[in-house]
Amino acid sequence: MKSKDWLNRQKKDYFVKKAKKEGYLSRAAYKLIEIENKFKILKKSSKLFEFGAAPGGWSQVALEMNPRIQITAIDLLELKIKHPQIKFYNEDFLKFNYQKIERNFDTILSDIAPNTTGHQSTDHLRLSSMIFDIIEVLDQLMITGGVFVTKIWKGSEEKEIIKILKYKFNKVSYFKPDSSRKDSVEIFIIAENYKSL
C-alpha cells in the first residue's frame, strides 16, 4: 500500500471511530459540521430539506447546530434517528410527489450518492444525473434567498452543474472539508441566495 493510501485509510478510520465515540450516525456528519463552521447555514435556517439523509448524521448535526430547525428528509434507506422535528419519507426522490408536502424550504441539502461501480467517470455521471434532477425540483421547494448545499464528484458534468447553479443563485462556492478524503473526487458546492427566476 502506498504511504498516501495508508494515510488516507488512517484518516478514514479516524473519522469512523470519532463518529462512533461521539454518537454520530455517520462519518459524513463531520463534513456538515465543517460546512456549517464556514458558511453558517443551519443556524439561520428554520426549514430544511435533505436529499439522501440516511442513516441520519446530517440530521443530527442540523438539530445540534439549530435546536429549532424543522427537517423534512428523504432516503431509500431508513433513517436511524427519530425526532419530533424530523419528517422522514422512506422513498426514492425521483418518484416522490413533492406536491404532497408543505414546501417553502430555506435550506436544501444533498449528500445523495448512487451505488458506486468503482469506475470513476460512470459514478460521476450517475451522481451528476441525480444532482440535475434535484436542481429541477428546487423551484418547487425553495424560497427566494435560500441555500442549497450539494455533494458532487468532480468530473465532466461539474462545469454544467456550476453554470446552472450560478444562474439560479447569487453566490456559488466550492468547499472541500478536511474530513473528506484528500484523494477522493468528492467536493461540496454551497449555493447561496436563491433568485427564484
Ligand X SMILES: C[S@@+](CC[C@H](N)C(=O)[O-])C[C@H]1O[C@@H](n2cnc3c(N)ncnc32)[C@H](O)[C@@H]1O
Interface residues with ligand X (CB under 6 A) are: 25-26, 28-29, 52-58, 74-77, 92-94, 111-114
* 94 or 143: CB nearest ligand X: 94
Q: How far is the CB of 2 from ligand X (least distance, A)?
A: 25
How far apart CA 190 and CA 181 sit, in angstroms, is 19
139 three-state secondary structure: helix
**C-alpha cell recorded at residue 180:** 473528506
Nearer CB in complex with ligand X: 6/76: 76
Give phi and psi for 78, each to the nearest 5. -70, 145
By C-beta, is 3 or 115 nearer to ligand X? Answer: 115
Cα dihedral sign, 35-38-43-48: negative
E strand map for the chain: 47-51, 70-74, 86-89, 105-110, 142-153, 169-175, 186-194
Q: If phi over 0 gives left and psi between -120 and 50 gives alpha, with beta otherwise, what is residue 74?
A: beta
Q: How far is the CB of 146 from ligand X (least distance, A)?
A: 19
| 154 catalytic residue (yes or no) | no
Please give the single-letter amino acid code of residue 177: P
Q: State the minimum distance, in angstroms, from the CB of residue 98 to ligand X.
A: 13
Q: Is the dihedral of CA 124, 130, 131, 133 positive or negative?
A: positive
Catalytic residue among 17, 151, 159, 171: 151
The residue among 75 and 106 lying less far from ligand X, judged by its C-beta, is 75
- What is the nearest approach in angstroms of ligand X to the Cβ of residue 88? 11
Residues serving a catalytic function are 151
